[in-house]
Amino acid sequence: MNTNAVIYQDLDRILVTREQIAAAVKELGEKLTEKFRGEEPIFVCILKGASVFFTDLIREIDVPLTTDFMVVSSYGSSTKSTGVVKIVKDLDKPVVGKHVVIVEDIVDSGMTLHYLKKVFANREAASVSIVTLLDKPARRRVDLKVDYSCFNIPDAFVVGYGLDFDEKYRNLPDIGVLHPRIYSDAEK
Ligand code: IMP
Ligand code: MG
């Protein structure tokens, strides 16, 4: 898809290109291969945002991993998150004694992952690591250790490569800042 495509018209600017993403995903895959050599970790994809990142990332990892998928949603509106996360679809298999790697699209307040980390610790996972494509450190509201992040980004609303606004733009191959006129139109 070229950057003149119809859905690119709603972007203010491109923040991370597909080439930058591919290079970062490859490098992260190499690091995770080193870290989990000799192990059989479970890679958990947090749907739907992390789906595109997840499918690219696991193909860059050379250890015999398994995959599982979770759908979560935050209680309350996006601006007033309570930090309580509802598990809409849980994992298919138990994680007891397993090395769990949670794969997220973006860490914002950090509340979703803070909660999920506790969930997996309570389920007696051997370890819980957090991997994210994007991190907005300026927005953090809880103390959260992010083990691997590909890009730190400024406090702007971004879409593409799996990330959405109102379920759209997930199919953009690059990551861009959504033009503010799109939210103001949506609020009308
Ligand atoms: P938090 O870290 O618990 O605040 O929540 C992170 C979640 O909010 C992510 O998994 C995304 O679904 C969503 N989110 C946060 N910032 C953005 C953004 O800039 N674009 C799209 N989704 C976002
Ligand atoms: Mg998400």
Query: What are the chain's domains?
Result: 6-183 (3.40.50.2020)
Averaged confidence pLDDT in the chain: 94
Q: Is 106 in the pocket of ligand 1 (CB under 6 A)?
A: yes
Model's pTM, two decimal places? 0.94
- The yes-or-no answer on residue 108 being catalytic is yes
Ligand 1 center to residue 105 CA distance, Å? Answer: 8
> Is the sign of the CA dihedral 60, 66, 68, 74 positive or negative?
negative
Ligand 2 center to residue 149 CA distance, Å? Answer: 14
What was the pLDDT predicted at 76?
57
Q: Is 109 in the pocket of ligand 1 (CB under 6 A)?
A: yes
What ranges in the chain are assigned the alpha helix state H?
18-35, 51-58, 111-122, 180-187
What was the pLDDT predicted at 24?
98
